[in-house]
Structure 1
Amino acid sequence: MENEKLLEVKNLQKHFKVGRNKVVKAVDGVTFDIYKGETFGLVGESGSGKSTTGRTIIRLYDASGGEVKFNNEDVHGKKSKDELLKFNRNMQMIFQDPSSSLNPRMTVMDIIAEGLDVHKLVKDEKERKERVEELLEVVGLNREHASRFPHEFSGGQRQRIGIARALAVDPEFIIADEPISALDVSIQAQVVNLLKKLQKERGLTYLFIAHDLSMVKYISDRIGVMYLGNMVELADSDELYKNPLHPYTKSLLTAIPLPDPEYERARKRVSYDASLLDTSEEPEFREVSPRHWVRCTTKEFEQYKKQVKNK
């Protein structure tokens, strides 16, 4: 997908001070680009730094280092109130837990219309009501739901309300931070299919953050794998699944259960042991084959190149 870059992340760092002397390097030098119209999947276990990466990109956290450019503009530079409003309109977020991200004291109408009000996108109450009701239908809910409160809905319905809220300001880019992890498996596919449909209809670009690799493959064009604050592998979705190179990626892939009892009994799972990695030099993010990047040392780089050549 070699079209125009929408987001450029270079050596992004987010460190948290814990106590008097300890620093937690939640994100420690992550680099990747996202192109217009694509879905970039970001995966890793809890604590890998993937959600912190998303939140730092959208300025919920200030970056400790590195840079983020959105539409060629520096995200973390000083911005005027108008510039911040424009940025916030173009980039929206769908949160992991719809129960805690929706204000329980607000009606669905007011929750979805919040962005319309802030950005002054409607001229009167009639237009406001019409826009909200249209958005409810777009995400598969009914117009009558506008007068209800969040607690009156199921988890899947609440997530649809969260999606409608993000769509209200007509953004270009949406960060979906584990948007399906709090939902039943039967509902997860519905929400992901809705996101895919909206992307096609509205030309949206997504950063889709999750720990479930099987669902990430289904929605993503390219996937980045994070481990302890670093990006360890990045490739096209199919390539990552067919030819994983980094041992951590292999361990994640072999942990995905398949609905085949005989295959599951015979399958060997790969466990990741970081102590076995080459520590003779600091690893770097290198392109092993076209569009396939791995964080590795020079020695590992040569081994990976041979591995790819022999496939």
Structure 2
Amino acid sequence: MAEDKLLEVINLQKHFDVGRNKTVKAVDGVSFDILRGETFGLVGESGSGKSTTGRTIIRLYDATGGEVKFNGEDVHGKKSKKELLKFNRKMQMIFQDPSSSLNPRMTVLDIIAEGLDVHKLVKNEKERKERVEELLEVVGLNREHATRFPHEFSGGQRQRIGIARALAVEPEFIIADEPISALDVSIQAQVVNLLKRLQKDRGLTYLFIAHDLSMVKYISDRIGVMYLGNLVELADSEELYNNPIHPYTKSLLSAIPLPDPEYERNRKRITYDPTVHDSSEVPEFREVSPRHWVRCTTKEFEQYKKEAAQK
């Protein structure tokens, strides 16, 4: 239903000029919706355009073309400082590398309180300190950590500080841009479980960007797969894993290792060959089966529909 859509991405494009009349089409006509309260996973290999999509949605990059609508309002059409401030409070971002996204010269108190200061959400220093200390406890850290500096923490703890900073302004929507890729495997699940708990407690909506498909499946309701600036497949999480359709998605799934020696000995890695597609027709995003979309040509669409009907 339209009223359930928190975010609408419509034919989004982000192109970069790289000199000598060359243009990199990092995001080239991507469209998807994110429903209120869900986690939408965006996956793909490095260079697929997934992080650029997230950064363009939140206006860290200006869009080359297309639209982004948040609560029905055009994100990139906003002009006044007041409107931008209101938008920035509703949408926050958690970055990939907590080491580089936290100012090493600032205490944890000042890092987390930045949003509180900008949006004037506290009346005095006492309230400011209390809010930060509460947020530290919410993300699993101690109140005493407020006086320390980023270098005194582990990678997992720094990412918790980044999450607390994003939560400080009480956003509706959070873009998590590969938030666990820089962390040890033993810490990744802890951070993902924290994000899931916060979503439940605070009614948050997430865009979760990652290349680790197994973790994306664990946290996401729906998943979109990106390849070279395009969305090539989109489906409910379980459906995408159990019935992948696009050859690129099959390639990504075949690369996931499992803790099963017998399976690993016999696992066949599928290599994606982009030349298998009919180059005489520009592929379009089509619904092959209910809620399962694939970027394909007319001929591929008929083939995929036939295969889906046989399952």
TM tier relative to shorter chain:
over 0.9
Name 2:75's counterpart in structure 1.
75
Runs ≥4 residues deviating over 6 A: none
Q: Supply the AA of the counterpart residue of 1:51.
A: S
Name 1:217's counterpart in structure 2.
217
Name 2:207's counterpart in structure 1.
207
Name 2:47's counterpart in structure 1.
47
In the alignment, structure 2 segments of 5+ residues that lack a partner are: none
Name 2:115's counterpart in structure 1.
115
| TM-score normalised by length of structure 1 | 0.99
Name 2:230's counterpart in structure 1.
230
Q: Does 1:152 align with 2:152?
A: yes
Structure 1 distance, partners of 2:20, 2:62, is: 20
Question: Cα distance, 1:41 vs. partner?
Answer: 0.1
Name 2:269's counterpart in structure 1.
269
Structure 2 distance, partners of 1:263, 1:164, is: 40
Q: CA RMSD in A?
A: 0.9
Structure 1 distance, partners of 2:273, 2:156, is: 37
Name 2:307's counterpart in structure 1.
307
| TM-score normalised by length of structure 2 | 0.99
Name 2:185's counterpart in structure 1.
185
Structure 2 distance, partners of 1:102, 1:286, is: 41
Query: Would you say the 8 A contact 2:109–2:147 is kept in 1?
Result: yes
Question: Cα distance, 1:276 vs. partner?
Answer: 1.4
Name 1:24's counterpart in structure 2.
24
Name 1:260's counterpart in structure 2.
260
Question: Cα distance, 1:280 vs. partner?
Answer: 2.1
Structure 1 distance, partners of 2:70, 2:2, is: 17
Question: Cα distance, 1:111 vs. partner?
Answer: 0.1
- Show CA shifts across 1:112-159 (max 9, x none): 000000000000001000000000000000000000000000000000
Structure 2 distance, partners of 1:30, 1:121, is: 35
Query: Would you say the 8 A contact 2:78–2:84 is kept in 1?
Result: no
Structure 1 distance, partners of 2:2, 2:258, is: 33
Identity of aligned residues (%): 88
Most deviating of 23-32 and 72-81: 72-81
Name 1:88's counterpart in structure 2.
88
Q: Supply the AA of the counterpart residue of 1:38.
A: E
Question: Cα distance, 1:279 vs. partner?
Answer: 1.2
Q: Supply the AA of the counterpart residue of 1:92.
A: Q
Query: Would you say the 8 A contact 2:39–2:208 is kept in 1?
Result: yes
Structure 1 distance, partners of 2:284, 2:132, is: 48
Question: Cα distance, 1:278 vs. partner?
Answer: 1.6
Name 1:170's counterpart in structure 2.
170
Question: Cα distance, 1:215 vs. partner?
Answer: 0.1
Question: Cα distance, 1:3 vs. partner?
Answer: 6.4
In the alignment, structure 1 segments of 5+ residues that lack a partner are: none
